[in-house]
Structures are given as C-alpha cells and as structure tokens.
Amino acid sequence: MTFALAGNQNSGKTTLFNKLTGANQRVGNWPGVTVEKKEGTFAKSEKLVDLPGVYSLTPYSLEEKITREFILGSETDAIINIVDATNIERNLYLSLQLSELGKPMLIAVNMIDEFNKSGGRLDVKLLEQLIGIPVVPISARTGEGISELVRRAVELNSLPQTPKFSNSYSDYAELADARYAFIESVLAQCLFLVRAGESTKSNKLDDILTHRFWAIPIFIAILGLVFWVTFGPLGSFITDSFAKMVEYGIERAGALLDNTGASAWTRGLLVDGILTGVGAVLRFLPLILILFLCFSLLEDSGYMARAAYVLDYILKPTGLSGRSVIPMVMGFGCTVPAVMGCRSLQNERDRRLTIFITPFLSCGAKVPIYAMVTAAFFPRHGALVFGFVYLLGVAAAIGSAAVLGRLKHFKGKISPFILELPPYRIPEPRSVALLIAHKAGGFVKRAFTLILLGTVIIWLLSNFDFRLRTAAAQDSMLAAISGVIAYIFKPLGFGNWQATTAVLAGFTAKEAVVGTLAVIYEVGTDALPAHIPEHFTAAAALSFIVFNLLCMPCVAAVSCIRRELGSWKITFAALGYQTGLAWVLAFFVYHLIGWFV
C-alpha cells in the first residue's frame, strides 16, 4: 500500500517520517516544481510519501495543491495524518479537510507525552468515535505508540471509516466556521486540561528573544555566535583538518600517477586540474555542514520563526517578508546553502527574488580579499572597511529586492505574512543528522559534476596557449583572454590581466582570488599586501573589493542557483544583473574615492 503522510508544519511530521522509514529514504522533487518529495518504506513493504507541511487544502498555494492532488491520485491508498496534541484544535482542521477527500485515513496524535506532562488529558477512544476516524496517540520523538500506529496503518482498509463531519456549505467563511465549531464541540467532550494555560517557560523565553529593545541585538549576537562557531577556532580547526586530508589525498594520487609513469599532461589534468579543482570545492564541505547544523538547530528550536517575526518590518518595503531573512542570513556564511535554504520560502515569487539577491551578502570566502586590501592600504581602519563592505552588500540586496520586485518577471501575489510561532522545543538529533547527511550528499554530487566541468575548463585555459602547448601563466589562454577582458575593468581602475585573471579565478572559488594574485605576482600570500600598492591605487583596490563583493558568485553557487531556479535563462539573467550592478557600483566607488584621495 502507498500511504501519504500529511500534517501541519511544526507537527513533528519529519520526525515521524524518519522514525517510520529510518534510512530507507529517497529524496527527489515533485514533478515540475522545486518542492522536495521524500519517499520511504516502513513495515517491510509499505510505501510512505512525505507531503509538504500545510495548514489547509485551499487551491492557492503550491504545497496545498501538491498535497490535494497526490492524495486524490490513484497511487495513494490511504492517509496518515499527523496532529500535534499540544495544538490539536487547529491541527484537526486539516484532518477534517483530509477526511473530505474520501480516502481511508488514520490520525496520529503526536507529542502526546509533552501534552500529558503539561497537564492535559485526551480521551482517544472518544475522539475516535466522535470524528469517525481511527486515532492513535504517539510520540514520534520517543517512539511511544509507533508500533501501534504501524499495526493499525497496515490494517487500515478493514478499519471503519465514518467521518462525522460533512461539508455542505457553499460559503467558505461558513464552512471554516462549521469545521472549527465541530472541532470545538468534539474537543469539549474528550479533551481535558487539568492545568490550563500555556507553557510559561516558552513564553518567558519568547519575551526575551522578541523583546522590544533586545530582539535585534540578540539576533545579531546569535548570528555572530553561528559565524564564530563556523569560522572561529573550532570551525577552522575542522575545516583545516579536512582540507589537509583532501590535500593529502591529492598528493597521494599525484605520487601514484608518478609511480605509474603517467605523462606530465595527464598528471596535470588529473591532479592540478580535476582533483585540485574538486578539492577546492570539497574544502567547503565542513563549513557548509557546520552552517547547516547551526541553522537547522535554530530552525527546529523555533527561533527562526521568531527571527522572521522580528525582522519582517525591515523587509516589508521590499515586498519580501520576514521569512526571507533566514536564507539571506545564511548567505553571510556561504551562498550555496543559502540558495538551497530558499526552499523554505513557500511563495514562488519570494523564493526566486531571494535567490537573486542572496549572492550580494558577502560570503565567508571573500573575507581574504578584504583582509588583503585592508592590510595593504588601511591597516588601522579594518573595521571601517569591513563594515562598509558588509553594509554595501546588505544595501545592494535590499535595494535590488525593492527594484527587481517591481519587474514583470517578479510580478505575482505579494504573499501576506501569516506565520505560526511554534513553541520552543529542543531539536531532535536524528532529524538534524539526516538533514545534514542529505545536504552533504547533494553538495558532493554537484562537486563532481558541474563544478568539475568548470574547473577543468579553467585549468585548461590557464595552462595552455592558443596552440595548445603548455604555457606559463602569463602566456596562457587565460592571460590572453584576461588581457582582452581587462578593458572592461579599465574604468574600474584595475584593467590589467593580473587582476582580471584573479577575478576570473574567483569564479571557481572566491578564495582563489587572493591565491591567484599571489601566484601571478610571484610572492607568498603573507607578503602579498606589501606588493599590492605597486599594482593598485587605494581607490582601485576598493573598487576591486566592491566588484568582487557583488559580481556573480562561484561555480558551486551558480550551479545551485541554476538548479533552484530551474532555468539557464533566468540564471544568466541573475548573473548578468549581479555582475552589471557590481561594475556600476565599483565604477562609482573608484571615481568617488579617487576624487578624495
């Protein structure tokens, strides 16, 4: 049998799905859309399909349409509907809608342990009678009631299904009213709250985290903590160790090729081209995983919903909602997970627009560029330069959202901001771990496909001249191409082939910008700042920073943007816009600063 798993957001649906299917999962997309579809098996051969978390089945949202169509489809035999016991009144609203679709159905009342602990009691047998649908109390987190759930799901076809609520209303307000009235009358009989009231602990925490004055400083502090964990001593230790492992692996592969007597050309392509290129991207893996870990902990704990709530006001004028804050903030770490994180945005317009602007938020890999220029020209004003760069990125992102949002391409319903603020909960380790594993898999897969192709092309260009003979950097095709492209950068103050090559190398990975300059100028990375003033004026160096900050992101991010936007045409539009804006702003910075300095 094929079961559809349906339920509200924050009802513990993912936890239950993981509990039931364990490692037997397949993740893909629903046909034609970028909404994730997860499938798994339980009880040996029963198929379970995880549906998007929805509150209703109106035909207005993509997720709700997917849910409705999948359940009505011939593939689906029965529904498992998960309901949050601590928020049962609103959760049962979806249950009534699901029961109206006419498929066999089972309600799993989740978090029954938490509900009982808070002083509530639910007469499950009576609830089952009153709504005419089988009900099983469970705790997806502890596993309580899961075997009973499986047992009854398997024999669902032989269980009585006599939904007591019938839809006989033409006006939606009357219908919604009638559904809630029915739920209220049912719960009045079978639900008892011994200690009435809400969780005071959750409320107290909420008062602090969304406090009138402290909310935004706390948000910034939490972000600071996340980036400190990712890029600070602990994060860099993990990242560096992993990078060393990758480098060691590449070295061993090189040694192996030397022993087998491979030609210099083969060795160059395999080791310096492919492995080094893929390695440069794989080095990001720990960083991305740590970032994802931090953000999924914030998400699952309920904090992210508060961050969206607190910051909605700031984004409102751009036509985006507070929900976009979450992926945008991830962009400060790495654009790749940020773009992937845009999936959490339910409105298609918001999702696309956020993907367009996220690359403007300065990712961690660009920091060495700022550090190099600061050390060379402004050693005593580092904070000022960094502050300027980050604020410029934020301003470019918000300004672009406001302007692009008015274009025809982004027309569409500006989504209202209607967001549930779930109670604070301790994240469930297993779900977090599975999410991380899934993200890691996707990233590694991309590193070996599109990114591989990109790095091979750049390697070929930088190691051969136009007669396809191996060549030194300054005689390579890349240098020749850079020499031509350099004219584009003349008005920006850095129109030479060296700086241009560094910018182009940045498209493989932004870290490569500084490294490439070091290679071309034939100095160590440490001595680089001392040499920069020989090749750049201060104004040109700032313009170089601005261009690198805003221009199209690295190959890894581009491939991700392509996948999420689903079209090369729109992807190129995004990259063109980003690079164009980078050029214009770098031009202004170069000439304005040139005036003063």
Give me the residues that bind another protein (CB under 8 A), please: 55-56, 58, 60, 86-90, 93, 172-173, 176-177, 180, 198, 207, 210-213, 215-216, 305, 309-313, 316, 322, 413, 416-423
CB of 61 to another protein, least distance (A): 8
Q: Which is nearer to another protein, 304 or 373 (CB)?
A: 304
Q: Which is nearer to another protein, 174 or 258 (CB)?
A: 174
Closest CA to 13 of 63, 66, 82: 82
Q: Which is nearer to another protein, 148 or 207 (CB)?
A: 207
Using DSSP's 3-state secondary structure scheme, residue 160 falls into coil
CB of 305 to another protein, least distance (A): 8
Secondary structure letter of residue 464 according to DSSP: B
CB of 207 to another protein, least distance (A): 7
Distance CA 433, CA 439 (A): 10
Q: Which is nearer to another protein, 200 or 263 (CB)?
A: 200
Distance CA 219, CA 141 (A): 28
Q: Which is nearer to another protein, 100 or 247 (CB)?
A: 100
Distance CA 124, CA 110 (A): 12
Closest CA to 333 of 223, 414, 427: 223
Q: Which is nearer to another protein, 221 or 472 (CB)?
A: 221
Alpha helix (H) ranges present in 118-171?
124-131, 146-154
Segment 247-253 long-range contacts (CB within 8 Å, at least 24 positions apart): 247/279, 249/275, 249/279, 250/275, 250/276, 250/279
Q: Which is nearer to another protein, 191 or 340 (CB)?
A: 191
CB of 496 to another protein, least distance (A): 48
CB of 85 to another protein, least distance (A): 11
| CA dist list (Å): 142 to 111, 154, 228, 484, 539 | 9, 21, 33, 64, 60
Report the Cα 332 to chain-centroid distance in Å.
Answer: 12
Sequence-distant (6+) residues with CB within 8 A of 96 are 131, 163, 165, 179, 182, 183
Q: Which is nearer to another protein, 28 or 416 (CB)?
A: 416
CB-CB neighbours of 550 under 10 Å: 26
CB of 422 to another protein, least distance (A): 8
- Ramachandran angles phi, psi of 197, nearest 5°: 110, 175
CB of 106 to another protein, least distance (A): 22
For the record, the structure tokens of 147 come out as 């075997």
CB of 213 to another protein, least distance (A): 7
CB of 313 to another protein, least distance (A): 4
CB of 186 to another protein, least distance (A): 14
Distance CA 144, CA 106 (A): 16
| CA dist list (Å): 379 to 374, 386, 401, 579 | 5, 12, 34, 28
CB of 424 to another protein, least distance (A): 11
CB distance 286 to 238 below 8 Å: yes
End-to-end CA distance of the chain: 74
State the pairing for strand pair 78-84/120-122: unpaired
- Ramachandran angles phi, psi of 79, nearest 5°: -120, 135
CB of 59 to another protein, least distance (A): 9
Distance CA 458, CA 134 (A): 61
Q: Which is nearer to another protein, 60 or 568 (CB)?
A: 60
Using DSSP's 3-state secondary structure scheme, residue 374 falls into helix
| CA dist list (Å): 285 to 106, 295, 364, 532, 563 | 41, 15, 13, 31, 18
Q: Which is nearer to another protein, 9 or 236 (CB)?
A: 9
Report the Cα 368 to chain-centroid distance in Å.
Answer: 24
Q: Which is nearer to another protein, 52 or 422 (CB)?
A: 422
Q: Which is nearer to another protein, 148 or 420 (CB)?
A: 420
